[in-house]
Structures are given as C-alpha cells and as structure tokens.
A = this chain, B = another copy of it.
Amino acid sequence: MSATRTAPGLPEIEEARARLDGIARVTPVYRSETLSKLIGRDVHLKAENLQRTGSFKIRGAYNKIVTLPPERRAAGVVAASAGNHGQAVAWAAREVGAVARVFMPQDALMAKVDATRSYGAEVELAGPALEEALAAAQAYAAQTGATLVHPFEDPLVIAGQGTIGLELAEQVEGLETVVIPVGGGGLAAGIALALRAVLPRLRIVGVQATATLPGGSGFTIADGIAVKAPGELTSSILDRVLDDLVAVEDEEISEAIVLLLERTKLVVEGAGAVGVAALLAGRVGGSGPVVPLLSGGNIDATLLIQVVRRGLAVGGRYLVVRTRVPDRPGELAALLDLLARERVNIVEVEHQRESVGVPVGETGIALTLLTRDRAHCEQLLAQMREWGYPVERLD
C-alpha cells in the first residue's frame, strides 16, 4: 500500500469527522441503570451497533475511499473480509460511486455474503480461510489497479474510527474511563488518539478475547476481533496510548451479550460485548463514569440463539434436567403439578421413551425450566431429589 504508515493526529481525525458528517450516524449514548448498579459506577453505552451496516467499520472505510484521488477511485476498491469490514467497504464504495470487490472465505456465513452483495459489491469466495481471501484480494489489486482497503493498518482508516472518540468526548459529561475492543487495533488506536488529544487524563482500556491470545484456541464468538495480533502500525500506537490491555473469556462475553439484549434491548455481537464483559469481570480499573464501546451488532441469528442459551445456562437462568417417571398415566402430570406449585416456569417437556439407560416400565423426561439464578437451579434439583425423582443436569 502507498499510504504513509504514521499515526494520524487530531487534525486528521477532525478532517475525517467533517467527511463523515451526514454519512455515518452519530450513534447514541445511553446510561444503563442495570449495568451501573451491577458494576457500582456510572455506565454509559456507546451504541455503535446502531451504526449503518451494523458496525463502526464504515467510518474508516469511507474516510479511506472518499480521499482516493479520482483516478484511483475509478479503478475501484477491494477488500478481504469474512464480516463487518467487507460490508463497510461495499457500503462506502457505493456511497462514493466506486466499484467494490470483496473476497470472502468459502465458509463465510451466507447472511454476511448476502449483506455484502446487497450493498452492491461483487463478492468472490476464495480459499478455506481469510489468509487465502487476502492473497486473492492482493492479487486482484495488483492485476487491476484497484485499491486494497486494509481493515486497520492505514492512517486514514484509523482516523475514521477515531471520530467515535470525538463524539464520546462531547456526549458523556465527566467521562473518566473508556473500554474499547481490540482485534487488529484500528478502532482502539483511533479512539485513543482522539481522546488522548482532547481528554489527556482519561483512562483507556483495550479488551481482547482470551481465545485469540498466544496459546488460545483461536476460536471465539467475538469473531470481529479474531485476529492473531494487532498490526505493526496499530501496535506502535496502542503501546503508547492504552493504559491497560485486558482479556475476557467467551463465557463472559456470552453473559454480556445476554445482559445487553435483555436489559438494554440492543443486539451486540461478541466483539462489541467485550467491554461490558471486562467491566462485569472487574478487569477495567479506574473509577467514575465509564463507557464501554458497543462496536457492532452483526451477530448471526443462529449464533445468537446459541449464545443466549449458553448465557442463560451460565447465569443459571435456564435448567435442563433429565429424570424418569413410571410409565403410567398421570405420573408426568404429577411431576408437572409439583413444579407448578413451586411456581417454576416450564419451557419444554420432552418424552424420551427409548432413551439409553431408562429401565423398561419407566419413561425418560427432559425438562427445560426457567430459573432465577444458579442458587435457584441447585435448590430445584435438590427439591426434585427430595420428591424422589432421579435427576441429572444436562445444561
């Protein structure tokens, strides 16, 4: 790439903001009463999941593409992405009237492929993983003269993401701490550069997913930050602008997604929920008003179902229990009646007549019950044993 590899300063971020005026949404900030109570300090959520295309990525992509000289713009743009960046490049290119091609790995979710296409990009599937898609994008750029839009290693992209910092400084009075997801690092670098310039004493904390750290499994539900490491440019910035860099587990991210969904009515993807997860886990530090950045909301509905189920199970809000009743009329009704008297909401009752391990003359039953918390789960299991039912917890 031809872009100079130096960190953008406040003037570059302010220029980006002027370019994005009327293009990107100034996303709202909400104080969350539930989170403020849980965490013991004022929590304001920056709802960047409500940004156009569902993530912050259009800020950087647009700032990059709109500043291309006319002859470069005419040659089109290209990106490699399995998710938000591809959609953002497609969207931003359409806004400025440029042609976009996006290379995606073959197993990209069809919903993401369709969304990228719906913004007018040509999508090409290349290789099993993102590395092959990136190689294909580079080859395409070399061949056609199209400009490769990097997701983070570019001062113009970083400056675009930094506009969120300028908004935050105006939106939250008395702001003391900001918590930002870190994958490639462009978002955190941009926001921190902006905020260091206007609020020098602010505490700025980055959050990664544990699974993406060296030695981690590599798989995380926070796919938006599933990058092996920040880039060279972004690392050099993060090293000097972050006060701390912490990590959260997928289970913690799941719980944060469920909490945001239930209490704030916002759909937030894994990467967007890491800030809230870090706050709930007590890893952020500092005091006073804190803003976790909800960076995006592009979570596949099928994954969301799984995450919510898991989050509810982890939080003890859900109990799947297997038991057995004599295979006689009225026996299941008797069990359900006992549960009803305890005022337990039953979500699902499943007969498992032919299950392994169920003696002849008995019927296996799987019950899905709504519970209040982990203690309530334990209490219910004990109660069912006291009634004489053999119980085994499944979820």
For residue A372, which residue of chain B has the nearest CB? B110
A39 to chain B, nearest CB (A): 15
For residue A125, which residue of chain B has the nearest CB? B343
Contacts of A268 in B (CB 8 A): 265
The answer on a CB contact under 8 Å between B297 and A302 is no
Give the number of residues in A that approach B within 8 Å (Cβ atoms): 48
The answer on a CB contact under 8 Å between B265 and A302 is no
Contacts of A278 in B (CB 8 A): none
The answer on a CB contact under 8 Å between B308 and A312 is no
Number of chain copies forming the complex: 2
The answer to whether A107 and B343 touch (CB under 8 A), given A30-B50, A266-B265, A301-B308, is yes
CA distance A372 to B118 in the complex (A): 14
- Tell me, yes or no, whether A394 is within 8 Å of chain B by CB: no
- Tell me, yes or no, whether A374 is within 8 Å of chain B by CB: no
Contacts of A345 in B (CB 8 A): 107, 109-110
Contacts of A317 in B (CB 8 A): 111, 301-302
- Tell me, yes or no, whether A261 is within 8 Å of chain B by CB: yes
For residue A356, which residue of chain B has the nearest CB? B354
Contact with B along A50-83 (1 / 0, CB 8 A): 1010100000000000000000000000000000
A110 to chain B, nearest CB (A): 5
- Tell me, yes or no, whether A304 is within 8 Å of chain B by CB: yes
Out of B33, B267, B297, B302, name the residue touching A370 (CB < 8 Å).
B302
Contacts of A111 in B (CB 8 A): 262, 317, 370
Could you list which residues of chain A lie within 8 angstroms of chain B, going by C-beta atoms?
A: 25, 28, 30, 33-34, 49-50, 52, 54, 106-107, 109-111, 114, 118, 125, 258, 261-268, 297, 300-302, 304-306, 308-309, 311-312, 317-318, 343, 345, 347, 354-356, 370-372
The 10 closest A-B pairs by CB, nearest first: A265-B297, A354-B354, A265-B267, A49-B265, A305-B305, A262-B301, A110-B372, A301-B308, A302-B347, A261-B267
A-B contact pairs, 16 of them (CB 8 A): A28-B50, A30-B50, A50-B266, A109-B370, A114-B372, A125-B343, A261-B304, A265-B267, A265-B268, A266-B266, A266-B267, A302-B318, A302-B347, A305-B305, A305-B308, A305-B309
